[in-house]
Amino acid sequence: MIVVVMGVSGSGKSTIGPALARALEVPYLDADDFHPPENVAKMAAGVPLGDADRAPWLARMNERLRTLDRQGESAVLGCSALKERYRRVLREGVRDFRLVYLHAPFEVISRRVAQRQHRYMPASLLASQFDTLEPPDEAISIDVSQPLERCVALAVSGLRG
């Protein structure tokens, strides 16, 4: 089973994703680790990425997910996956693909982002992520205004149910 934990920056991917991976006893992959250096430089400068920037990033992740799937291994990937076409690229060639969508109102996410430092995502880009977001139709949907333990329990229940 390949699980993609998705949502805008500050939705909890890097907190809930690893906790979910531990609960499922599978490896956690962070989408940030798949960005080419050019993307990292743009994001650090506060420049939003375009679709052309995201193409090699998505392809790298899909290659890793397909390899894991072919080997019969499971993993949790934390990835923004804001648009349906991005999720299609991630899903391509993966037999058991599951999506966990982390969401909360802008004000809640904005407060979280303001309270932390992220290696690639300055708070100034949050509005552009909400503008880009295409909420998924088929996903385990979790309101991350709830405590971490509850969010993880809901995700595990949804994946096993």
CATH code of the domain containing 33: 3.40.50.300
Q: What is the pLDDT of residues 110-153, one digit of tens each?
A: 888 877 665 555 556 678 889 989 999 999 999 999 999 999 99
For the chain, helix (H) and strand (E) counts, in that order, are: 7, 5
Distance CA 4, CA 33 (A): 15
Residue range 69-80: mean pLDDT, rounded:
97
CA-CA distance, 76 to 83, in Å (whole number)? Answer: 19
Higher pLDDT among residues 6 and 49, named by residue: 6
Residue 70 has pLDDT above 90, yes or no: yes
Q: How confident is the model at residue 45 (pLDDT cuts 50, 70, 90)?
A: confident
- Give which of 44, 7, 20, 32 is closest to 125, Cα–Cα: 44
**Whether pLDDT at 108 is above 70:** yes
Domain span at residue 145 reads 2-160
Q: How many domains does the chain have?
A: 1
d(CA 135, CA 101) in angstroms, rounded, equals 8
pLDDT tops 70 at residue 95? yes
Report pTM. Answer: 0.91
Pairwise CA distance, residues 52 & 144, whole Å? 30
pLDDT, residue 50, reads 86
